[in-house]
């Protein structure tokens, strides 16, 4: 695999892709959003961690941390009101180890594409997008 994450399926020839690489791939995916979404997307904080914490897993009713590749924390734009007091910024979490595990298991997708898929899916929660909206940006669904 090269440092761009272009080649998929294995990192047997070197170290596992780093948190920094996944963050770079995620930011590149966000940079490709259509202009209408780019501004509001910048208000969402991007966090990349190795694993979701126990509280996240408990809240979602997930027992196996490998099942959670990403998470949106916040109030979707379609549900926000000017009367709401901000409790902090909305956050998209990406979890490196579950993403890498899925990437290796699939073996047929570039890491950059998988990271972009997870980012777009989580951003969809922020915008309140439908599956059709997601498909128009993320060709993963086709």
Please state whether the predicted TM-score (pTM) of the whole model is above 0.85. Answer: no
Domain that holds residue 68: 19-75+89-141
Q: What is the DSSP string of 19-42?
A: HHHHHHHHHHHHHTS-HHHHHHHT
Query: Structural domain tally of the chain?
Result: 1
- Backbone angles phi and psi of 39, in degrees to 5: -60, -55
Q: Note the pLDDT tens digit of each residue in 55-83.
A: 999 999 999 999 999 999 988 888 877 66
In a domain, 128, yes or no: yes
Question: Sorting pLDDT into bands at 50, 70 and 90, what band is 10?
Answer: low
CATH number at 123 reads 3.30.2010.20
The verdict on residue 13 lying in a domain is no
Residue 116 belongs to a domain: yes
Q: What is the pLDDT of residue 59?
A: 93
* Residue 86 dihedral angles phi and psi, to the nearest 5°: -65, 130
């Amino acid at each position: 695999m090269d440092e761009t994450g272009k080649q998929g399926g294995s990192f047997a020839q070197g170290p596992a892709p780093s948190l920094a690489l996944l963050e770079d791939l995620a930011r590149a995916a966000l940079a490709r959003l259509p202009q209408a979404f780019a501004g509001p997307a910048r208000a969402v904080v991007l966090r990349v961690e190795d694993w979701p914490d126990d509280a996240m897993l408990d809240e979602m009713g997930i027992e196996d941390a490998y099942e959670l590749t990403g998470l949106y924390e916040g109030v979707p734009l379609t549900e926000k009101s000017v009367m709401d007091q901000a409790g902090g910024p909305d956050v998209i979490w990406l979890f490196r180890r579950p993403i890498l595990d899925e990437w290796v298991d699939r073996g047929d997708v570039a890491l950059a594409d998988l990271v972009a898929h997870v980012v777009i899916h989580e951003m969809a929660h922020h915008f309140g997008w439908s599956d059709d909206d997601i498909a128009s940006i993320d060709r993963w669904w086709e």
